[in-house]
Structure 1
């Protein structure tokens, strides 16, 4: 299989362990690329809504795929988010080719790129975490209903429809919140001399050149794998927002080795990554 070779891929807001996660689409995407670095920019596993009775094989397959990519030499950098904040106690831990961090700075062809999830700049989380969790449950319920609506629309040959986008677009406060989030992050990036600032968190894929009287930066948001199915890709000194529904760049489907995978296979995959790390030292 010929895969697309890219220098860097960024995904965020996957929310494994929830009913709204589109793990199969994400697995197709991961099977279609061969990155040098894979950055998991927060909320990959949803610790807020994790339930022992719900973690299907498709979700385990995504984890195993990432483990295998690391074992094959891909640098996997896991940046913690608010939904997987339990991992923050393991910040700066390295297992083979997998590293857990809270933020990251990379030099990309002479330009500084600043990566973080984005929740630290979200006032609703900083001031009232319980309210943010309540809002998260409401959002997940809305997107769950939306999945049934889109299933019906696709059966009728009609375009998909996003209820959450409709709600966001109808509420001025939501628009103001997103704009403030983007402005604060961009201003900080300019103030600290970063050419690129890359985040997730708000489930709004975007790439925008921001210029103020103090300087300029490029704001990038990787979106999510709940509704938008988007990622960020960097290749040939350029960034791109990859959209799974629109781009369809050579997606590959589930490999046979994943078909009968269970939790024992996942533990074995982790062991492989650890052994790979020991050999490379």
Structure 2
């Protein structure tokens, strides 16, 4: 199956190492594309909730696939988020075409793009990190229960449902938070004279022009969504942005043709669990 060429791919909020992560679907997507640049915009590995007892092979395969892009010479930028904030002590680390950063400004066809995870705008993260971590555990538990419920619904021939989306829809504060997040990002981007501001963090994929409330001007706000619920990514190709939405019907012909090659190229003995344990130990 021919790989689809894309100029830039941006993914965020994958949360590898948690039960809610759709690593299998993400792997299929990554294997279907040939990007010129890959940006991992935070919360790729969930170090907050990382446990040595849960690291499925599919999660390891996602890591191998990302590293394969690096070995193939594709520029890969890993921008830290709140769930992988422990990596921030290693900011500016680079290895070949791989760079670990907190944020980045790119010139994309003559337009400046300001790219960062977005947790800096989250008041809970700034003042009550323990509450944010507790919420993360609750969210992951909700996703796990939701997955089991959807399995039962599928067996019964009924449509799937999203618990968290229903919760968000019923609480005005959730919608208000998303709107404030987007507006804050846009206001700052206009002030800094950027054409694009690209975030993750809120698990809500979006592309829309936002007018600044403080200065004359507007900016194109983009959010890559997540790979826990929405299964989305941002793609830039032929001077146009679009939101990629995973559809299982598009990947029915996908095969496991090169999984063994990934392991051979990247050393199958690479144990991410050991590395993550070291990160956690060094930060406590």
TM-score above 0.5: yes
Higher relative contact order (CA 8 A, sep 6+): 1
Name structure 1 gaps, 5 residues minimum. Answer: 270-281
Question: Structure 1 residues 184 and 223 mapped into 2: Cα distance closer, same or farther (>3 Å)?
Answer: same
Paired residue for 2:268?
265
Q: CA RMSD in A?
A: 2.2
**Partner of residue 207, structure 2:** 207
Shift of 1:153: 2.3
Alignment of 1:1-281 (within 5 A): 1-212=1-212, 214-245=216-247, 248=250, 252-258=254-260, 265=268, 267=270
Shift of 1:177: 1.1
State the alpha-carbon separation in 1 of the partners of residues 107 and 140 from structure 2: 36
Confirm or deny: 8 A CA contact 1:230 1:241 kept in the other structure.
yes
CA contact (8 A) 2:233 2:245 kept: yes
Q: Distance in 1 between matches of 2:236 and 2:197?
A: 13
- In structure 2, C-alpha distance between the alignment counterparts of 1:161 and 1:4, rounded to whole Å: 30
TM-score of the two chains, using structure 2 as the length reference: 0.89
Tell me how far 1:152 sits from its aligned partner: 2.1
Could you tell me how far 1:164 is from its partner in structure 2?
Answer: 0.2
* Residue 181 of structure 1: how far off its partner (Å): 0.8
Secondary structure, aligned partner of 2:201? coil
TM-score by length of 1: 0.90
The answer as to whether partners of 2:28 and 2:251 remain within 8 angstroms in 1 is no
Alpha-carbon separation, structure 2, partners of 1:90 and 1:260: 26
1:224-246 CA distance string (max 9 Å, x none): 11111000000011100000038
Contact kept in structure 2, 1:191 and 1:214, CA below 8 Å: no
1:24-43 C-alpha deviation (Å, 9 max, x unpaired): 00000000100000000000
